[in-house]
Structure 1
Amino acid sequence: MGVLSTQTYIQAIYSARSLSKARTGALLSAFMIPPVGIGGILVGLFMRANFPGTPSEQVLPVFVMNYLPPFLAGIVLATLLVAVIGTWAGLTLGVSTMLTKDIYQRFIRSGAGGREVLTVQRLLILLVGGSSVLFVAGNLKSLILGWSFLSMGLRGCTILFPLLGAMFFPRAVSPLAGTLAALAGPAANLIWHFLYPRGMDPLYAGLLASFLTLVLFSLLSRRRVPAANDTQ
């Protein structure tokens, strides 16, 4: 759900030349991802059985450097570096684009020119990138998977149901309902995460809050429209 709600992936699909190209690319990705995941699982199980004391963030690099030929190990490590940088760059660009287009141009400077928008986005890229570096520096000993799951959960709770509603039920979902659902989902996710850290996955609490908020306020908005028409 978090992947489906990530702007970098949605943007890649919408930037395809045609619907058939987008569908083909999505299907190819769907077939290519499982083998990579299975390989990671096998490496993790092997390292857990033979080197149980290895820190989780060092499992794959240690395996690559000790069990692969030097040339192949270099390719794998370089690929990992490119993947990390590419993911970071894509997410940073996505966040800065949303802040620039949806907040700055819409609410702060609606008449901003192209040069001004470009300058603001570049500054936001520096701000977002610097903030992420500071955040990582302050959590060096934390598990990356924990933050990844929380990030995916927040993205899924924020975007999934409002996006599906806007795409498939545009007449039924009101802008107010979508906005409130996008706020209620991550709020419920974070509250559940900190109140019940060992309980149910906070993703479910966030999705439930987002869905109920979307449905409730969409129904209320539809009731207000006929009432307003009757008064006229």
Structure 2
Amino acid sequence: MELTHVHLVSLVITIILVIGSGMYSARKVKSAEGYSLAGRSSGVTLIAGSIAGTVVGGGATIGTAQLAFTLGFTAWWFTLGSGIAFILMGLFYARPLRRTGLETIPQYLVLNYGKMAGPLAGAISSIGILFSAVASCLPGIMIIAALFGITEWFAAVILMLLVVAYVFFGGMKGAGVSGLMKLIIIWVTLFAAGGVAFVDLQGMTNFEVIFPSLPWFSLFGKGIWAGLGNLFSLIVGILCTQTYIQAIFSASDSRTAAVGAFTAALVVIPVGLPSIAIAMFMHATHPEVLPILVLPTYLLQYQPAWLGGVGIAGILLSLVGSIGGLALGIGTMVSKDFCYDLLHITANKTVLWVNRMTVLLVIFIASIIAIINLNSQVLGWNYMSMTLRGAGILLPLTLAIFFPGRLTSGWAVSSMVLSTVIAIIGTIILNLSIDPLFVGIGVSAVIIMMGLVSEHKNCSQNKSDFS
């Protein structure tokens, strides 16, 4: 991975234009709400840019190519599943959530289940989101280190500075504008490169020998249950992620929120396909390349220098945007749910700076974890993240949205705690044959059913006593 002068110039210009445009668009952000919700004035384009700009990160680009290098089409689950999740969000969740006028998922849970639910949900979500940020830090550090021949620690510092420039000053407004520009670059460069790789793959004489239909052309190349588990974890995790719901809360109205989610789905679903084509081509022609560097290596070696430089910039920006958007989600929960609601610190400037300082801390911690785990699988961190933040929150959140008042605080909090603990044990400690997400959701469902039955019996008993 060697950069020519043309590569370097096009790379630097692209990064400056994208990040600079985001900072310029958000130059008037002075309030906490303006930072976290863009003043609740976002249109469809800005919402889609914020959502898709965050999810199209390490997993959607580098992680997809990394897995496709060894297994083929099963790597498509990340962008395909993300798109399906955004469609479900637009159909069922966006309108009722936006109509509340709230700012975070924990605030919504507090509204329905009492004060204990807020900090608990905030802590659970923050841990899960942090692991998604790690998934984008991993390839970001590796790519910067390989491109410029520097140490991983120095590369981590550069990555952190880029993320700070991307999101620290402008918040949701800056992330939305930069995310939209980044997506245009990713679409143009990846599909141009992917189209060339696809044509070259078709011209291979021994194509069927190198790529038998199983596992290369099956979404279930790792097994049916593994594929369904990946899909389910993406749907559950995305529907419970503050960063994406935050974009919904920033919409100018509920209809705009729903359309923004649908638009994000249309943008995200196809993004994985060119990465898969490139990875399969590299598997056939350069099997010695490190899987995590497959995509940038192809862009540098098989594309015109100017396009390769822009493409590398697009990948780096996708990683930077994902880290920044996820960190902003954690920062908003810490500033609003812990600082504002729990500690009653209401000064606007204080809340704003707590948000910004939390963003910095998240970026730093995610980078340290990534450096310690440089040889790990990018998508593995993403799927683990989805499991941890979704197992305990999805069912209580869904019940609160569609059937408010049915479940009491005690049962809801018990469901969140026990299902999350079970999911963590299954993910980190035990080597379960079944996806820990299924176990966690199952525990949550059982506790909620017990709570609903108990409440029904209490209501029946009260009516009987009254009679």
If the TM-score is normalised by the length of the shorter chain, which range does it land in?
0.7 to 0.9
**Equivalent-residue separation in structure 1 for 2:335 and 2:411 (angstroms):** 23
Kept after mapping to 2: 8 A contact 1:154/1:185: no
**Aligned counterpart, 1:42:** 277
| More moved, 202-211 vs 170-179 | 170-179
User: Alpha carbons of 1:4 and 1:53: their partners in 2 closer, same or farther (altered >3 Å)?
Assistant: farther
Kept after mapping to 2: 8 A contact 1:173/1:214: yes
The one-letter amino acid paired with 2:315 is: L
Kept after mapping to 2: 8 A contact 1:159/1:182: yes
SS in 2 for 1:142: coil
Moved over 4 A (4+): 221-232
| More moved, 162-171 vs 122-131 | 122-131
SS in 2 for 1:2: helix
Cα displacement string for residues 93-115 of structure 1 (whole angstroms, at most 9, x for unaligned residues): 111221222223333x2254223
User: Alpha carbons of 1:186 and 1:70: their partners in 2 closer, same or farther (altered >3 Å)?
Assistant: farther
Cα displacement string for residues 174-209 of structure 1 (whole angstroms, at most 9, x for unaligned residues): 333333322223221121123443622212112212
State, as a whole percentage, how many aligned pairs show the same letter.
32
**Aligned counterpart, 2:372:** 138
**Aligned counterpart, 2:435:** 201
Give ranges in structure 2 of 5+ residues lacking alignment.
1-235
**Aligned counterpart, 1:18:** 253
- The Cα of 1:230 is off from its aligned counterpart by 8.5
Cα displacement string for residues 88-146 of structure 1 (whole angstroms, at most 9, x for unaligned residues): 11111111221222223333x22542233233333322322222122112111211111
SS in 1 for 2:317: helix
Residue 213 (structure 1) aligned with residue 442 (structure 2) = no
Among 114, 122, 125, the alignment partner of 2:356 is 122
SS in 1 for 2:237: coil
| More moved, 148-157 vs 169-178 | 169-178
| More moved, 82-91 vs 205-214 | 205-214
Question: How high is the TM-score relative to the length of structure 2?
Answer: 0.45
**Equivalent-residue separation in structure 1 for 2:450 and 2:362 (angstroms):** 34
Question: How high is the TM-score relative to the length of structure 1?
Answer: 0.86
User: Alpha carbons of 1:130 and 1:226: their partners in 2 closer, same or farther (altered >3 Å)?
Assistant: farther
The one-letter amino acid paired with 2:385 is: S
| More moved, 221-230 vs 94-103 | 221-230
Give ranges in structure 1 of 5+ residues lacking alignment.
none
The one-letter amino acid paired with 1:106 is: D
Kept after mapping to 1: 8 A contact 2:239/2:245: yes
| More moved, 147-156 vs 118-127 | 118-127
SS in 2 for 1:53: coil
Residue 104 (structure 1) aligned with residue 339 (structure 2) = yes
**Equivalent-residue separation in structure 2 for 1:213 and 1:56 (angstroms):** 42
Number of equivalent positions:
231
**Equivalent-residue separation in structure 2 for 1:178 and 1:82 (angstroms):** 39
**Equivalent-residue separation in structure 2 for 1:10 and 1:140 (angstroms):** 30
RMSD (Å), alpha carbons: 2.5
The one-letter amino acid paired with 2:364 is: G
SS in 2 for 1:158: coil
**Equivalent-residue separation in structure 2 for 1:57 and 1:198 (angstroms):** 26
| More moved, 201-210 vs 120-129 | 120-129
**Equivalent-residue separation in structure 2 for 1:100 and 1:229 (angstroms):** 44
User: Alpha carbons of 1:122 and 1:224: their partners in 2 closer, same or farther (altered >3 Å)?
Assistant: farther
**Equivalent-residue separation in structure 2 for 1:95 and 1:127 (angstroms):** 10
User: Alpha carbons of 1:184 and 1:56: their partners in 2 closer, same or farther (altered >3 Å)?
Assistant: farther
